[in-house]
Amino acid sequence: MRAGARVHGAVSIVNAIATGRGAAMGVDLWTEAEVSLREDGEIRVVIEGEPGEDTGLARRVVEKVLEKAGLKGWGAEVRTRSNIPIGRGLKSSSAASNAVALATVKAAGLGMPSEEVVELAVEASIEAGVSITGAFDDAYTCFFGGINLTDNHSKRLLKRWRAPEDIRVLILVPEEKVYTGSVDVGSLRSLSRGFEKAVRYVEEGRFWEAMTLNGFLVASALSQDLSPILCSLRAGAEAAGVSGTGPSVSAVVGEDAVERVREALEGFGRVLEVGVNNREAEAW
């Protein structure tokens, strides 16, 4: 009873904390999980390359799947690997919870629809304390790819688009980490009218305007440096904004502006270049 799964990452278009509605776009970063079920009752988790990270989310995901599968008293060996920087707003926890959930479901032989796998991962994220809203927008986008607008309170998909594949995404990855559970929710909610406007932009298909407005709002609410956003836009980015609650900044860039925007962002730290992702998660 062993299985694996791969789920991709995402970047924010609109943060959902303030209004309950959020949007995200899939990018070509990934997390893989391998799960082997055991009858000894123990759940052991190894996060490759990140030995100090909390394993509580992965453990809770496995527990919930085993409960649904009627495998009371069972345990699991879980190993994850990823190229998504943890704690930088790049949906590492959503990708990980989805990957562990999908691999565990496959290992347990459950015929669970993909949407239910996502909902289980979201519930586990709330129960493990790693997410404020459950981040349904992030979890859905990591699992299904594309651009998605969701209602996180009701866990509903509101609208979905295929992400344009003629763009690149440059991501500034600062050294410091910011975990969502520690952010000032009140500051974000004080700017709810601005976030509502960003959601309207998404509904109209004006994704890049929404991303940039969201970036200014999140950075302002959380007292983060606006300079990377401004420098990206001045260098020719179509959009730039804080991803999640930061500290990463993602910039959407046409092929002709990649080098200029990269040079602008490299003045602030390490920069990743990725494509978009429109592929659904896979299990084996």
pLDDT at 144 (0 to 100): 98
Residue 156 has pLDDT above 60, yes or no: yes
Q: What is the pLDDT of residues 213-242, one digit of tens each?
A: 999 999 999 999 999 999 999 999 999 999
Residue 131 has pLDDT above 90, yes or no: no
Q: What is the pLDDT of residues 172-206, one digit of tens each?
A: 998 876 655 557 899 999 999 999 999 999 999 99
With beta carbons less than 8 A apart as the criterion, state whether 243 and 276 touch.
Answer: no
pLDDT at 17 (0 to 100): 95
Q: Report helix, strand or coil for 64.
A: helix
pLDDT at 98 (0 to 100): 97
**End-to-end CA distance of the chain, in Å?**
12
Mean pLDDT of 110-121: 96
- What lies within 8 Å, CB to CB, of 160 at 6+ separation is 144, 146, 147, 148, 149
Whole-structure pTM value:
0.95
DSSP annotation of 162 reads: P
Q: Which amino acid is at 85?
A: P
Domains and CATH numbers, the chain: 2-162 (3.30.230.10), 167-274 (3.30.70.890)
- What lies within 8 Å, CB to CB, of 241 at 6+ separation is 12, 13, 211, 212, 213, 214, 215, 216, 218, 229, 249, 250
DSSP annotation of 257 reads: G
DSSP annotation of 280 reads: P
Q: Enumerate the β-bridge partners of residue 241.
A: 250
The number of C-alpha atoms within 13 Å of 41 and in the hemisphere containing its C-beta is: 2
Give the whole-angstrom CA distance, residue 251 versus residue 127. 32
Give the whole-angstrom CA distance, residue 182 versus residue 84. 20
Q: What is the pLDDT of residues 25-80, one digit of tens each?
A: 999 999 999 999 999 999 999 999 988 888 999 999 999 999 999 998 999 999 99
pLDDT at 183 (0 to 100): 73
Portion of the chain with pLDDT greater than 90, in percent: 88
With beta carbons less than 8 A apart as the criterion, state whether 27 and 19 touch.
Answer: no
